[in-house]
């Protein structure tokens, strides 16, 4: 075991699946950060990760980890229904919290997390790793620099052909997950779309959800599916939402775990503006590090389309580094990281589900 150093940021990770492992890897790469605790139910995997990262303390339950103490911050990388109870308990103990997306099952739980962060005066960040893609960052520079003029229509999608995650698991139980692909992967598309557009206010949503393949046992594959089902399929497998933005622009979001389309997963974004447009298309599973990015514009009445340079982004490495930077920035800046941006995403997603249930437009 490594000896602790003065001034180290002591972190713990709750959850040892794919996401939790991304957090472990990212923390391990940072100077002055020491992983001191790990919590996860799968003993063999927990033991393996404890040894790999030389973690002094490992627990089956998150409650034991928090009770043990010796932490400055934690990552929460567990099923969505646990985000709020773990985050709030940690914040009440004076810890900083980085949670996986979505912030919680719904905006009510998300608001409780934000309130706890504000009351404790601690950082609450939510991991939206796709906005840290290099191609999305390159496109944001184009839009921010006026490269498409004023955006008036945009579309963002994350679509799979056979990608229901763990069919019959917590992912397909609304009480555990909060929703289907709209809450799971659609929130990513919503996040990077609003990020690219400069965080416009959403004034109204009109959405539909469909559950056509999952209830019939279709839409899974070896990569995404654990066929030993313990829960019925009770969420949507496809959703679309039309968002009216302040100022008159509109945004279409599509999120699908399963539909009869091309085989490769696709993550995309398209925008039309008064002086140009742009398209980003990322394909594959896992996604390619850099997608196909094009900007459409004109000069002196002639087409002047071009391909902006884009490097691979840093995904969870960037998420974790930004969280650590915020914590180290001192109390004066912690209030700027209270989870409110992720809460706004949850409020929009809630409005979309309400719209789909009631078959009407819902104003925010």
What pLDDT is stored for residue 226 in this prediction?
A: 40
Do residues 294 and 160 share a domain?
yes
Alpha-carbon span 156 to 268, nearest angstrom: 6
The answer to whether 335 touches 118, Cβ cutoff 8 Å, is yes
Residue 359: left if φ>0, alpha if ψ -120 to 50, beta else—which one? left
Question: Tell me, what CATH number does 181's domain have?
Answer: 3.30.360.10
Do residues 224 and 323 share a domain?
no
What phi and psi values does residue 141 have, to the nearest 5 degrees? Answer: -60, -40
Token pair 């390619």: residue: 288
pLDDT tens digits for range 35-73: 999 999 999 999 999 999 999 999 999 999 999 999 999
Alpha-carbon span 124 to 97, nearest angstrom: 5
pLDDT beneath 70: ranges in the chain: 1-6, 167-168, 222-231
Do residues 120 and 251 share a domain?
no
The answer to whether 15 touches 77, Cβ cutoff 8 Å, is yes
Distance between terminal CA atoms of the chain?
A: 52
Q: Which residues pair with 205 in a beta bridge?
A: 243, 362
Do residues 124 and 192 share a domain?
no
Residue 228: left if φ>0, alpha if ψ -120 to 50, beta else—which one? beta
> Is residue 202 in a domain?
yes
Do residues 45 and 119 share a domain?
yes
Show the DSSP H helices in 38-165 as ranges.
43-52, 62-68, 83-92, 107-120, 134-144
- Strand 266-273 relative to strand 277-283, pairing: antiparallel
Q: Which candidate, 173, 97, 59, 46, places its Cα nearest to that of 342?
A: 97
> Is residue 45 in a domain?
yes
Do residues 103 and 124 share a domain?
yes
Q: Which candidate, 235, 130, 260, places its Cα nearest to that of 189?
A: 130
> Is residue 349 in a domain?
no
Q: Which candidate, 334, 275, 359, places its Cα nearest to that of 124?
A: 334
State the residue range of the domain holding 205.
Answer: 134-312
Do residues 283 and 254 share a domain?
yes
Token pair 């030993």: residue: 228
> Is residue 4 in a domain?
no
Alpha-carbon span 54 to 34, nearest angstrom: 10
Do residues 324 and 304 share a domain?
no
> Is residue 3 in a domain?
no
> Is residue 191 in a domain?
yes
* Count, residues in the chain: 364
pLDDT tens digits for range 117-159: 999 999 999 999 999 999 999 999 999 999 999 999 999 999 9
> Is residue 26 in a domain?
yes
Rg (CA), the chain: 21
Give CA torsion, residues 36, 38, 44, 45, to 10 deg.
-100
Do residues 165 and 304 share a domain?
yes
Q: Which candidate, 181, 135, 154, places its Cα nearest to that of 288?
A: 135
> Is residue 122 in a domain?
yes
Q: Which candidate, 199, 170, 176, places its Cα nearest to that of 348?
A: 199
Distance of CA 60 to the CA centre of its chain: 25
Do residues 268 and 153 share a domain?
yes
Do residues 173 and 259 share a domain?
yes
Burial class (CB in 10 A: 0-12, 13-18, 19+), 91: buried
Do residues 33 and 50 share a domain?
yes
- Residue 170 sits at the vertex; the CA angle it makes with 124 and 218, to the nearest 5 degrees, is 130
Long-range contacts of 233-236 (CB under 8 A, 24+ apart): 233/164, 233/167, 233/168, 233/172, 234/172, 234/173, 234/174, 235/171, 235/172, 235/173, 235/174, 235/177, 235/179, 235/180, 235/181, 235/211, 236/179, 236/180, 236/181, 236/182, 236/209, 236/210, 236/211, 236/356
Question: Tell me, what CATH number does 109's domain have?
Answer: 3.40.50.720
Q: Which candidate, 355, 347, 313, 360, places its Cα nearest to that of 128?
A: 313
Question: How many domains is the chain partitioned into structurally?
Answer: 2
Show the DSSP H helices in 157-236 as ranges.
174-177, 181, 187-196
């Amino acid at each position: 075991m490594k000896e602790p150093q003065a001034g180290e940021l002591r972190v713990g990770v709750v959850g040892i699946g794919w996401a939790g492992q991304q957090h472990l890897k990212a923390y391990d790469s940072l100077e002055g950060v020491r992983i001191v605790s790990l919590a996860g139910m799968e003993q063999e995997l927990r033991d393996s990760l404890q040894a790999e990262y030389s973690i002094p303390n490992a627990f089956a339950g998150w409650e034991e980890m928090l009770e043990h103490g010796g932490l400055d911050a934690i990552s929460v990388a567990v099923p969505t229904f646990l985000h709020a109870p773990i985050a709030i308990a940690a914040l009440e103990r004076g810890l900083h919290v980085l949670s996986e997306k979505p912030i919680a099952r719904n905006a009510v739980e998300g608001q409780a997390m934000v309130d706890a962060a504000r009351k404790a005066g601690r950082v609450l960040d939510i991991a939206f790793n796709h906005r840290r893609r290099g191609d999305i960052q390159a496109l944001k520079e184009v839009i921010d620099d006026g490269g498409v003029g004023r955006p008036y229509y945009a579309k963002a999608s994350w679509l799979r052909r056979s990608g229901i995650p763990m069919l019959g698991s917590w992912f397909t139980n609304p009480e555990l997950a909060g929703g289907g692909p709209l809450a799971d992967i659609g929130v990513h598309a919503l996040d990077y779309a609003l990020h690219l557009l400069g965080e416009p206010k959403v004034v109204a949503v009109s959405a539909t959800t469909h559950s056509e393949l999952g209830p019939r046992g279709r839409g899974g594959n070896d990569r995404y599916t654990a066929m030993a089902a313990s829960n019925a399929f009770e969420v949507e497998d496809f959703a679309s939402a039309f968002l009216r933005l302040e100022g008159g622009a509109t945004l279409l979001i599509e999120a699908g775990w399963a539909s009869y389309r091309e085989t490769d997963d696709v993550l995309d974004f398209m925008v039309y503006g008064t002086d140009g447009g742009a398209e980003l298309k990322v394909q594959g599973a896992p996604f390619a590090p850099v997608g196909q990015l094009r900007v459409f514009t004109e000069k002196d009445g002639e087409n002047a389309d071009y391909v902006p340079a884009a490097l691979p982004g840093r995904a969870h490495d960037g998420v974790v580094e930004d969280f650590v930077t915020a914590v180290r920035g001192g109390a004066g800046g912690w209030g700027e990281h209270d989870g409110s941006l992720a809460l706004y995403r949850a409020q929009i997603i809630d409005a979309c589900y309400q719209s789909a249930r009631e078959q009407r437009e819902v104003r925010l």
